[in-house]
Chain A
């Protein structure tokens, strides 16, 4: 396992954390990062009805990034700890994501976690229903956007406060 690499990546992430994200890093367990993430303003995952502009509006999501022993030859594993209604996040206790960079065939060892964080953020703003892990949610998103939006927002209120 590449301690040096993970430590360096952590340094880079701190210096250049994507907006609305916070990384909780435990030096005793560097292979599991906890990431706190606010649903981006442009997305359905922003917490609605918060009036004060100074308060960040996003629904608050907790996710975990874990580094497999083969890292960086295998991609990191992302799991949402907060339930989210999203075509690319599995709707189970794992909350896993498996697309783009996060797939073993796509991942290249020089790729960095910060790119993964950016990917997650992009996907919250614009889900990718064509590479969905939850076909029924993807179907909602494509064919019944109103319904999708409603459920997604309800879930934010219920789970991501």
Chain B
């Protein structure tokens, strides 16, 4: 797969410390590859075969340099956490020691691992002392009965998923159980699992590789974003299996909020779950006639069946104000100073503030699910639509696109509320809130149309496609603006030097929490 090139990355790549390793970023293609947005990062998705290929290539390369057979080289590389430069350096400097530590030394050749019976032996793990007890020890001399040794390895491999770096069971001993000992002790039924884990270490040991966290997905993603840059960029990657996830923390895509804010936010939500529980409830009372209203779609525009009152599910305010410039549903109004003078009032206000953001965060999460339910129902009906209208399958795909856009935009909106919760007010906040508002209005419009009866959908096709495109556009604008300002990071100097080609107001986000 071709690594994509990103112009903004080039401007910043000295800061991002991209290492030119085996799969480096080549810049010769930059002119022919389209520019990406500020919130996008470069990444490559690899299949298990490609990963195996990389491993084999590295093994062959190092095997040549060291003059060791490939099997031994593989052991050495795993032992060195796939850091080939360090392995080669150390090997050149102290060959015997390196071999010895990986269990490949002369001693291992002269004394291949074997089971022994030792008179008077008591196993320190199971406390058995039978005279015919088979025992095992590595060169470090920590001897245990063979059953305990096997049980120990099995626990490590099966339950803890370790393979290449299992330590000697001896108290305080850090010697790694070498592969020859493992061959002797690992039972046949564990060998497959063990081999699989060995292969996995290649990805686990490389900072720039990560397994896709989707269940049963076998792909790995290569992305050269360093941990220290995670405050300045949110590296969402897109796996072949179609899963969007964050390369920094493996959670589902959480743009525009940086990983550390996400972590803080999730922790807060967990701690405060009781306070917030009642909110995500699916029923509320109509603010006018107090009859119970149930939400069964993603759209926030509610109409009371009884009194026909139209209101917003989020703020319970009149809906008619939501389509106009009065729309203020996303913004939390800080109360003026004198209203919050005592501690109780302050703590109430801080709870209100949290609930404002949590409410909207949870609501988009819930609405995304409801939108999806509706889509699944609609999909069934699409077949009918084809029959009754003569539209082709391709022609009804606009519903699928609309559904996808809704999911994605709501996912983004959801995280804008966590992001906004941690924002300290400055000149950028308002721009952010305007972007948020625009996207939210676009989404609610599309969502509302999406719930229309099936027989009206055909006539709405063009309008719906327009609205879908508009939602996507608003999302890109929001993410782009936020990401650009995030990249400005802490240094003002950089923003003056580097970013000159944009008419968006630039500056830095100010957060009301301390972040790494």
Contact = CB atoms under 8 A, between A and B. Distances in A.
Contacts of A104: 160
- Chain A interface extent, by class: 10 to 19
A110 B155 contact: no
Interface in A78-123: 104-105, 108-111
Contact of B148 (A70, A109, A111): A109
A110 B170 contact: yes
Q: Which 3 A-B pairs have the closest CB atoms?
A: A73-B155, A109-B125, A110-B124
Interface residues of B, number: 18
B169 A109 contact: yes
B127 A5 contact: yes
A72 interface: yes
A4 interface: yes
A40 B151 CA distance: 38
18 contacts: A2-B126, A4-B126, A5-B126, A70-B155, A70-B159, A72-B125, A73-B155, A105-B160, A108-B169, A108-B170, A108-B173, A109-B144, A109-B148, A109-B169, A110-B124, A110-B144, A110-B169, A110-B170
B169 A8 contact: no
A114 B246 CA distance: 44
A22 interface: no
A74 interface: yes
A111 B171 contact: yes
Nearest to B151: A73
B393 interface: no
Interface string A40-77: 00000000000000000000000000000010111000
Interface of B: 124-128, 144, 148, 151-152, 155, 159-160, 167, 169-173
A94 B166 CA distance: 31
A41 B323 CA distance: 68
Given A5-B125, A109-B169, A110-B171, 10 more contacts: A2-B125, A4-B128, A5-B127, A70-B159, A73-B151, A73-B155, A74-B155, A109-B148, A109-B152, A110-B124
Nearest to A74: B155
Contacts of B125: 2, 5, 72, 109-110
A111 B172 CA distance: 9
Contacts of A111: 171
A2 B171 CA distance: 19
Nearest to B125: A109
B155 to A, nearest CB: 4
Contact of A4 (B127, B170, B172): B127
Contact of A8 (B127, B170, B172): B127
B122 to A, nearest CB: 10
Contacts of A8: 127
Interface string A3-24: 0110010000000000000000
A70 B148 CA distance: 11
A31 to B, nearest CB: 16
A73 B152 contact: yes
Contacts of A74: 155, 159
Nearest to B122: A8
A23 B138 CA distance: 36
Contacts of B160: 104-105
B172 to A, nearest CB: 7
Nearest to B160: A104
A18 B122 CA distance: 25
B127 A2 contact: yes
A134 B146 CA distance: 40
Contacts of A108: 167, 169-173
